[in-house]
Amino acid sequence: MRITVVRGDITDQHVDAVVNAANSSLLGGGGVDGAIHRRGGPAILEECRRLRAGHLGGGLPVGQAVATTAGNLPAKWVIHTVGPVFTDGQDNIGPLASCFRESLRVADELGARTVALPAISTGVYRYPLEEAAYVSLWTLARASTSVDEVRLVLFDQKAYDTFDRALEALDPSDAEVEDELRRVPEEKWRELFELADGLTTEDREFTWGGGEKNEDGVIQWPYPRYSDRLWQLYVALPSANADWMKWMSGNPLRTEPARLAGAPVADAARLATVYVRGERFNDGVFGRAFQDGSMDAIIARLRTWYDTER
């Protein structure tokens, strides 16, 4: 499946199916929804009403998708899906990812081969653009589907730039990163896990050097002072040949590393890369990853892969 990102209007797309960022009522709204009903004409709303009179009496639940005619749009079908209203302290990622998976599932049922989708939830539903871009594209990239082309259609330049950046971070793929991990020699893995098992509280509570004037009166910029074991771990950690800066922008694994347990091992390697390469700025990011649970999550995910998956 090919994923493309274009700037444009979703109602202009000549594809088999366009996805509508609908609301639960299915009876129309603003943004994408308004544009689709305006351009598509009354046939779409009629079919939505029939769905509401039938098995969707209570409306379409968040994260699910359903198809109707595309009316006068240059497409065969509209797939309506309901994104989550972004809410602090709730799982927004699960339902947003579900919208993309379910839309592709419905597209497969219809036999659609080309599908255009908007940036679901990023309008009235206030989902932050960067995280939405990450969640949307990575969910699509990991979906199993018969769709040939998935086209993300972004309305404004900012949304386009954000999605384009997230798209570039899909390279190298999970499979390519995993191949890199397979080439890491056995003894390197054993060394890594031994070092991780031997971590002490002192290793994690690293100290800082610098900050004082030297003989020339120059103030040495503060730098983290890591234990030998932490440095050895720094060297032993496998990483991914990924554009880590692009990959980490908006990436929920930065703030919720526990999610790695359910993610492909490639993401553990990418997240390790964020901390290893980030450490070049000498700001203690590598050490902090041992304090906030990130490094434990990375090593645990690598270990599961090493023990049971590779």
Query: Using CB under 6 A as the criterion, which residues of the chain lie in contact with ligand ADP when the complex forms?
Result: 9-11, 21, 30-33, 35, 83, 118-125, 153, 155-156, 159
For residue 189, which of 238, 141, 242 has the smallest C-alpha distance?
A: 238
**Closest approach of Cβ 155 to ligand ADP, in Å?**
4
Q: Which two tokens stand for residue 245?
A: 């800066």
CB atoms within 10 A of CB 168: 13
* Nearer Cβ to ligand ADP (121/139): 121
- Of 9, 12, 16, 33, which is the active-site residue? 33
* Residues 31, 123 contacting (CB under 8 angstroms): yes
CB of 33 to ligand ADP, least distance (A): 6
From 4, 151, 200, 305, select the one nearest 297 (Cα to Cα): 305
Query: Least separation, in Å, of the C-beta of 3 and ligand ADP?
Result: 16
The nearer residue to ligand ADP, 9 or 307, going by C-beta atoms, is 9
260: nearest Cα among 232, 288, 292, 215: 292
Closer residue to ligand ADP in complex, CB, 121/273: 121
Task: Give yes or no: 33 in active site.
Answer: yes
CB of 83 to ligand ADP, least distance (A): 4
Nearer to ligand ADP (CB atom), residue 77 or residue 189: 77
Report the catalytic residues.
33
